[in-house]
Structure 1
Amino acid sequence: MSNKRFSLALHGGAGSAPGHDYGVEVAHMRGLVEAARDRLAAGANALDVAVETVVALEASGLYIAGRGASPNASGIYELDACLMDGASGRAGSVAALQGFESPILAARAVMERTPHVMLAGEGAAAFARTQGLKTIADPATWFTHAGAFEANHPPDLPTGTVGCVVRDGEGRLAAATSTAGVFGKLPGRVGDSPIIGAGAWADGQAAVSCTGQGEYFIRTAVAVQVAHRMRFGGESLASATAAAIQGVAGLGGDGGLIAVDREGHVAMPFASDGLKRAALFPDGTIMAEAF
């Protein structure tokens, strides 16, 4: 039985650089949490709030997603996103999408206007065009990381995937994730962010969004693993998320996740130098941090 309390969490990516001032990002994330809180208080549903928040994260240019996307090794911007509605079990995803401002809106269109879950590459772009989604006229001036990949970018450059998980006042759960991956990825590389069960998951148990070295999150199916640990293993959200992240670390990967459960509990564990994150807890408390 649901109650009218709601909670949410969002992230701007794992791998915060020690010594870097993330004041702008922390303030931005806090503001988004406050806006989402007001939407939930007005009765908005979990999926709408998750998508709206990720759209704002993409548009900010502050993270390695949307306008802040990083180019691949050929200087091309290939973007990934997925979302899942826990109340209905519906999901949508796009991978290696080029030319559109908001991959998460494209993913939602896939979910709501096709019989499919994922579209990739030119097929995703062709579909997005039919939906009238906003295109990027000139990538060289629109992206905040404009320009071709430079070989001197460090290989361990922190990732900046964005995501949001929400438990609304009716107990519905939703998750959304969006990314460009990391600087210098091979053309066509797809990480966990557009993969349902790896980069995001939502059901009646939990909603999860992941960030970090995607290959490890795919290999351990982190997002759905959290929900299954809870559903079939009887674990708490805190225990399930900690174990899932430890599995990534155990393989040599790093990253983090955000999650909420059907009771409104929030978890944000990470095994990396930091995790840009913010949350609204059921008692109304808001936090925003980068480390």
Structure 2
Amino acid sequence: MIFRNILFLFLMFMSSIGVGQQVTPKDKVVLVIHGGAGTILKSKMTPQKEQAYMDALRTSLRAGYDILKAGGSSEKAVEAAIHVMEDSPLFNAGKGAVFTHEGTNELDASIMKGKDGAAGAVAGVTTIKNPITAAIAVMEHSPHVMMMGKGAERFAKEQGIPQVDPSYFYTQERWDALQRILKENSKAVELDHNDKQTVTKPEWKDEKFGTVGCVALDDQGEITAGTSTGGMTNKKFGRVGDSPVIGAGTYANQQVGVSCTGWGEYFIRNVAAYDVAALMQYRSLSVLEASKEVIRKIGEMGGDGGMIVLDKDGNVAMPFNTAGMYRGYITESGEVKVEIYK
């Protein structure tokens, strides 16, 4: 009886720290996605908008899953899943990209294949409809890993990748968010008695990160991870975050794939995506243990965000230290799970 009670308490404790997030290989996860982490509160979400997010996540999962079920590669599944989110104004990627301080949209994306370590990325592009496809083109049709700005756009055009006028990325909600932030920042500056400007509080930080990402596992056992983003609202000076940085926002090897979302500077400084893979390789941690450890370190430094992790056996983890993270997975048998809040 005493043993039963101890066992019960142990199982309750293990459940409370989130072990239940990890799916057993009996019906392994083959594709996992995220649509950004941040201050995502149910109290601020209308039922209609919540349903729109849930539907978009399910559509993304199904798009990638259909590729896998037809015998397609994990690379193609990642591209298909991310395309859905890039084409939706709900997420901070592609169509829904946030605005820079200058009122423009600058997009980043990256992809990495676990099989051979091939990788590609683009940063600061303004006319590429689906940046994840441009990242794939860099990986497959150039000797480089990352291209940026006008050079990346020219390369993408030469590869026949769809281009759009920058106005395509305009959405009223993102524009209003920039104006709100600019107004907040203006309040933070006041004139002192010597007519000098004095900053009275820290500059506003993004409350929600809508970066999107996907990790897929195909029937050949190959893992691919990809990430796409519009960056940070009100970003300045050509800032680039972690999403296009291999090892920081995206990483894959033969054992695991990782895609991150959050305050990019902290994910870069922690080499977050690679750190998960390293902890699994060198300390034999599970996907959940390794990813929670990295998120813990980021939090201790003052950063926030989350990540999705999928290993070769179909085990998944989706840890985050914010109020919410748009996330979901689909298993080999087609079971779908999508969540938003903590």
Of 102, 105, 108, the residue aligned with 1:80 is: 108
1:268 paired to 2:286 = no
Alignment of 1:186-225 (within 5 A): 186-225=236-275
Aligned-pair CA distance for 1:34: 2.5
What is the distance in 1 between the residues matched to 2:116 and 2:273?
17
| DSSP 3-state at the match of 1:247 | helix
Give 1:10-159 correspondences, 5 Å limit. 10-18=33-41, 19=43, 20-21=45-46, 22-137=50-165, 139-140=166-167, 142-145=169-172, 147=175, 149-150=178-179, 151-152=182-183, 155-159=205-209
Q: Indicate conservation of the 8 Å contact 2:94/2:169, yes or no.
A: no
Secondary structure of 2:87's aligned partner: helix
| Matched residue type, 1:152 | K
2:282 to 221, 229, 232: 232
Deviation at 1:124, TM superposition (A): 1.1
1:289 Cα deviation (Å)? 0.9
Structure of larger gyration radius: 2
After TM superposition, give the deviation of residue 6 of structure 1 in Å. Answer: 5.2
Amino acid at match of 1:116: H
Consecutive unaligned residues in structure 1, runs of 5 or more: none
**Structure 1 pair 187–129 and aligned structure 2 pair: CA distance change class (3 A):** farther
Superimposed CA distance per residue, residues 46-104 of structure 1 (whole angstroms, 9 cap, x where no aligned partner): 11101111111101121011000011000111100000011121000001111111111
The reply to whether residue 7 of structure 1 matches residue 30 of structure 2 is: yes
**2:216 partner amino acid:** V
Question: What's the CA shift string for 1:171-217, capped at 9, x where partnerless?
Answer: 11000000011210114100000000000001111000000000000
Separation of aligned partners in 2, 1:123 and 1:256: 31
Give the aligned partner of residue 278 of structure 1: 328
The CA distance in 1 between the partners of 2:124 and 2:254, in whole Å, is: 29
For 2:221 and 2:152, locate their aligned partners in 1 and report how far apart those are by CA, in whole Å: 32
The one-letter code matched in structure 2 to 1:109 is A
| Residue identity opposite 1:8 in structure 2 | L
**What letter is aligned with 2:170?**
F
1:182 aligns with 2:209: no
| Superposition deviation, residue 283 in structure 1 | 5.5
Task: Give the whole-Å Cα distance in 2 for the aligned partners of 1:219 and 1:47.
Answer: 27
| Cα deviation code 1:135-189 (max 9, x no counterpart) | 112x335432475942136633311000000111221100000001121011410
Q: Distance in 2 between matches of 1:165 and 1:140?
A: 30
Query: Is the contact between residue 80 and residue 94 of structure 1 (CA under 8 Å) also seen in structure 2?
Result: yes
Letter in 1 for 2:84: A
> How far apart are residue 114 of structure 1 and its match?
0.5
User: Distance in 2 between the 1:200 and 1:235 partners?
Assistant: 19
Cα distance in 1 for residues equivalent to 2:26 and 2:75: 18
Q: Which residue of 1 aligns with 2:5?
A: none
Q: When you count helix as a share of all residues, which structure comes out higher?
A: 2
Structure 1 residue 123 displacement after superposition: 1.5
Per the alignment, residue 171 of structure 1 pairs with 221
RMSD: 2.0
State how far apart, in whole Å, the 2-side matches of 1:102 and 1:81 are: 9
1:160 to 207, 210, 215: 210
Distance 1:35 1:17 in 2: 25
Give the conservation status (yes or no) of the 8 Å contact 2:29–2:329.
no
**Could you list the runs of 5+ residues in structure 2 that have no partner in the other structure?**
1-24, 185-203
Q: Shift of residue 3 of structure 1?
A: 10
- C-alpha distance in structure 2 between counterparts of 1:17 and 1:108, whole Å: 30
Give, in angstroms, the shift of residue 35 of structure 1. Answer: 3.0
Q: Give me the TM-score of the superposition, normalised by structure 2.
A: 0.80
Shift in alpha-carbon separation, 1:257–1:5, aligned structure 2, 3 A: closer
2:27 and 2:69 mapped to 1: Cα distance? 9
Deviation per residue, 1:109-133 (Å, 9 max, x gap): 1101100000112221221221122
Question: Which consecutive segments of 4 or more residues in structure 1 shift more than 6 A?
Answer: none
